[in-house]
């Protein structure tokens, strides 16, 4: 399957995770020329663990030695994690930012922050209000043009966010509820049609937000140096890209305004985002 500009091939010792992927990624194209950028393999830690308490080890071109296996019931999550891992460790074409991205009028809004800051949730809610979802996990910066490329994989919703987004996206296509993961309950949402149909369209970055959930509404402008450090920490391949990465990052922090925003609930956040977007 192809997500944005990146092709994947997923293999598994079991049929179930593949069947779920096939259903949820049905509308996605195949890798360019049939040659994927990355391979993902879900395999059993020991041959007998295929059947007996089946546990899925995340494999692929790039692996972390300390990733723990997941139960087979969480096979879809394992596949998503392994795909993310290939991007985090192996992506060299684009500067990779651990951020969600949405687009309107050809301009992109990037949101990055600590886990639980709500970047996936906010991106899904903005998409429900007409924005184009470009991705809820990674934003890809093209070092040559400075444009943001989409990586609209399945939106990963956690715990309370699942109900919030289900209410906001009545006709949404969801994956199965995966309970009891290391991050609590997880449910995947298939991005809206326009998000998949237009995934090859890049956008000009226009605003970078660092949201924080659970605080009274507040916002502050960030200095370029602080944005630079925060974004290099949010990038897994900044150093590996060398001078191309430096140029792309400098251009981003110089040209794109950045704000930290605190918000107590989704409605307040959406109001703040729309207001800041109007100014930018």
Least Å distance between CB 197 and another protein? 21
Which is it for strands 95-98 and 107-111: parallel, antiparallel or unpaired? unpaired
Question: Please, which residue, 132 or 187, has the CB nearer to another protein?
Answer: 187
Q: Return d(Cα 149, Cα 125) in angstroms, integer.
A: 20
Least Å distance between CB 108 and another protein? 17
Question: Please, which residue, 74 or 192, has the CB nearer to another protein?
Answer: 74
Burial level of 189, CB count in 10 A (0-12/13-18/19+)? buried
Distances (CA, A) of 160 to 54, 76, 163, 184, 216: 29, 20, 6, 10, 19
Distances (CA, A) of 47 to 10, 19, 53, 144, 186: 19, 21, 11, 46, 28
Least Å distance between CB 170 and another protein? 27
Question: Please, which residue, 122 or 132, has the CB nearer to another protein?
Answer: 122
Least Å distance between CB 235 and another protein? 6
Least Å distance between CB 264 and another protein? 21
Question: Please, which residue, 16 or 88, has the CB nearer to another protein?
Answer: 88
Backbone angles phi, psi at 223, to 5 degrees: -75, 155
Count of all residues that appear for the chain in the document: 280
Question: Please, which residue, 115 or 271, has the CB nearer to another protein?
Answer: 115
Question: Please, which residue, 39 or 219, has the CB nearer to another protein?
Answer: 39
Which is it for strands 258-263 and 204-213: parallel, antiparallel or unpaired? parallel
Least Å distance between CB 99 and another protein? 10
Residues lying near another protein in the complex (CB under 8 A) are found at 7, 9, 11, 31-37, 39, 41, 58-59, 61, 64-68, 70, 81-82, 84-85, 87-89, 92-93, 98, 112-115, 137, 146, 156, 182-183, 223-225, 228-230, 232-236, 238-244, 246, 250-251, 253-255
Q: Return d(Cα 53, Cα 55) in angstroms, integer.
A: 6
């Amino acid at each position: 399957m192809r997500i944005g500009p990146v092709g994947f091939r997923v293999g598994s010792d079991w049929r179930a995770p593949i069947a779920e992927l096939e259903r949820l990624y049905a509308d996605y194209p195949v890798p360019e020329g049939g040659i994927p950028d990355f391979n993902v393999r879900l395999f059993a830690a020991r041959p007998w663990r295929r059947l007996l308490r089946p546990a899925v080890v995340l494999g692929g071109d790039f692996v972390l030695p300390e990733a723990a296996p997941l139960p087979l019931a969480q096979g879809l999550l394992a596949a998503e994690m392994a795909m993310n891992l290939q991007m985090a460790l192996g992506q060299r074409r684009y500067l990779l930012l651990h951020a969600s991205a949405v687009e309107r009028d050809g301009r992109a809004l990037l949101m990055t922050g600590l886990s639980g800051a709500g970047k996936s949730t906010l991106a899904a809610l903005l998409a429900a209000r007409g924005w184009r979802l470009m991705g809820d996990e990674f934003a890809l910066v093209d070092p040559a043009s400075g444009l943001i490329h989409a990586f609209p994989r399945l939106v990963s919703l956690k715990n309370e966010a699942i109900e919030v987004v289900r209410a906001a996206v009545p006709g949404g296509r969801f994956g199965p509820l995966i309970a009891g993961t290391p991050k609590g309950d997880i449910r995947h949402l298939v991005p809206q049609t326009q998000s998949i149909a237009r995934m090859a369209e890049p956008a000009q970055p226009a605003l970078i937000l660092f949201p924080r959930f659970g605080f009274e509404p507040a916002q502050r402008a960030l200095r370029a140096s602080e944005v630079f450090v925060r974004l290099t920490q949010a990038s897994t391949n900044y150093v590996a890209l060398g001078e191309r990465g430096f140029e792309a990052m400098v251009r981003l922090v110089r040209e794109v305004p950045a704000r930290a925003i605190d918000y107590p609930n989704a409605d307040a956040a959406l109001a703040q985002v729309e207001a800041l977007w109007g100014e930018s």
